[in-house]
Chain A
Amino acid sequence: MTRAADGPAPVPSPDNGRIRVRADRERCIGAGLCVLTAPEVFEHDDDEGLVIILEATPAAHHRDNVELARRLCPAGVISVEPA
């Protein structure tokens, strides 16, 4: 798989399309773009305003939004890998 010099790293695509989502709360800035982009997968906790993952292995149809959230996160704290 090649990576365009100016583009984001693509998500590897296993056969079932399932992915595992992680987020680093230590570096989260609480910008909330992930919650806006993929609300089924990401949420902010009420106490700290930091990201929480609602669905660590979301269904395949959430994949595009999760990938967009990963790319948009201004703190770069979201990672996506094959489940």
Chain B
Amino acid sequence: MSVDLEDAPSFPVPRTVPYQPPESYRQISSRGPLNKVTLWDKRRVWLVTGYAQGRRLLSDPKLSADRTRQEYPTMAPHLGAQAARKLVLVGEDPPIHDIHRRLLNPEFSLKKARALAPRIQELVDGLIDDMLAAGPTADLVQSYALPIPSLVMSELVGVPYEDHKFFQAATAGVMQAREPAETEAAGAQLAQYLGTLVERNLTEPGDGVIGRLVHYVQAGTITAAELTQLSMVLMIAGLETTSSMIPLGVVTLFAHPEQLAAFISGEVPVQTAVEELLRYLAVTDFAAVRWVTDDIEIDDVVIRAGDGIVVSSTMVNRDESVHADPHVFDISRGNRQHLTFGYGIHQCLGQNLARLQLETAYRTLFARIPGLRLAVPFEDLRMRSSGTMQGLESLPVTW
């Protein structure tokens, strides 16, 4: 395999069509599964676009997720901020990663997620009631996609929902800022808010993840600051991803009427359809960012110690050696081989909760609002221009 180091195209670049990767990504992956790309700060890193290579690399203990190291690639200017660099769990390697992860794992088991299904349905139905009462037009981003994970995560973590305007703005501030200073400020606000909540739970444990984990602080397993950090990571990871994914999925279904019909009729099970939406949309163009602690040989290429690696979920999910006609959106595909939730020890903890929210959101929306359609021409929809999640600024719908 030849890797042309002289030609390292820019990465990431904005999507223009919400559900399609930019043309340049296709050109990059047509050269082979491992290529060099250039980040915004001129740094060159490896871009992985092959599914097998992505799995293999994310299984390798020589890959580090430690964001405090300068070797860790900074994917956007705001992610250089301390608040984005010093993140528990997602920015940690074993053994400390495993200690933190072990505390949270029981909260996110498949059984726990499934037990939340009736409550999620109730919350989603409530939002539909509100939209129907206020409609016949609505912005699906503000009225549906943001409140769903916001309600679910605040109940799960034990954050009062009446503060949702604050924590929605703060998590978005951390993730979607343009400047490091904005991320820093939003991160500090969120840490202060959650820190106060942890303190309150220490004397009066609430009914949520924070309340259930305070005994680890009292026992000295973790500090109050670590619990604050853990709850912050949960809120950021839980809100930004699902709230971006819901509108992307709706618009993708709108753009493929025959698929939408098969979805509404129940011809294709909702779980199968959601898995294809996850594969096709990926929510973010990169599922994993790492740096390499020691040389790795893969496919006749040597990735050197200190090199940065970016696994492009968008393109890995469209690896034609795994999926036939990978650029075709087919909700009946039934292939779960995608890296949208990452792979290995850092794979998304909340994946079952995410799937459940997406299934409930899409199914309930189209079942309860027959004739739902875009209220503006498709061409007028705008992708958010900041942050690393693919998101729509707004999604005006009518019925």
Interface residues of A (CB under 8 A from B): 5-8, 26-33, 36-37, 48-50, 68, 71-77
Say yes or no for B61: interface residue by CB 8 A criterion: yes
Instruction: Please classify the interface of chain A as helix (H, G, I), strand (E, B), loop, or mixed, using the class held by over half of its residues.
Output: loop
The reply to whether B341 and A26 contact each other, CB–CB distance below 8 Å, is no
| Chain-A contact segment, one of B212-220, B246-254, B346-354 | B346-354
Tell me which of B108-116, B148-156, B366-374 binds A: B108-116
Q: Provide the bound-state CA to CA distance between A12 and B162, in Å.
A: 52
Which of B59, B93, B348, B351 contacts A72 (CB under 8 A)?
Answer: B59
Q: Can you give 8 A-B contacts (C-beta < 8 A)?
A: A6-B94, A27-B109, A28-B110, A31-B341, A33-B344, A71-B59, A75-B109, A76-B98
A5 touches B95 (CB 8 A): yes
A42 to B236, CA, bound (A): 33
Cα–Cα distance between A34 and B219 once the two chains are bound (Å) = 33
Which of A30, A37, A73 neighbours the largest number of chain B CB atoms within 10 Å of its CB? A30
Contact B347 A31 (CB under 8 A): yes
Q: How far is the CA of A36 from the CA of B336 in the complex (A)?
A: 11
Q: Are A26 and B111 in contact (CB under 8 A)?
A: yes
Does the CB pair B336–A29 fall under 8 Å?
A: no
Binding site for A on B (CB under 8 A): 55, 59, 61, 93-95, 98, 101-102, 105-106, 108-111, 113, 293, 336, 341, 343-349, 351-352
| Distance of B363 from chain A, by nearest CB (Å) | 18
Determine the distance from Cα of A72 to Cα of B346 in the docked complex, in whole angstroms: 9
| Residues on A with beta carbons closer than 8 Å to the beta carbon of B101 | 74, 76
The reply to whether B59 and A6 form a contact with Cβ atoms under 8 Å apart is no
Closest B residue to A37 using CB positions? B59
Q: A31-B347, A49-B110, A72-B59 are in contact. List 19 more A-B contacts (CB 8 A).
A: A6-B95, A26-B106, A27-B105, A28-B110, A29-B108, A29-B351, A31-B351, A50-B110, A71-B59, A72-B343, A72-B345, A73-B345, A74-B101, A74-B346, A74-B348, A74-B349, A76-B102, A76-B105, A77-B105
CB of B59 within 8 A of CB of A48, answer no
- A27 in contact with B106 (CB, 8 Å): yes
Given contacts A7-B61, A8-B61, A49-B110, contact A71 B105 (CB under 8 A): no
Identify which of B59, B95, B348 contacts A68 (C-beta below 8 A).
B59
B residues less than 8 Å from A74 (CB atoms): 101, 344-349
Give every chain A residue within 8 A of B352 (Cβ-Cβ). 29-30
Across the interface, which residues of A come within 8 angstroms of B113, CB to CB? 29
Whether A6 contacts B93 in the complex (CB less than 8 A), given A33-B344, A33-B347, A76-B98, comes out as: yes
A77 to chain B, nearest CB (A): 8
**B-side contacts of A31, CB under 8 Å:** 341, 347, 351
Nearest CB to that of A51 among chain B residues? Answer: B110
What residues on B are CB-neighbors of A75 within 8 Å?
105, 108-109, 349
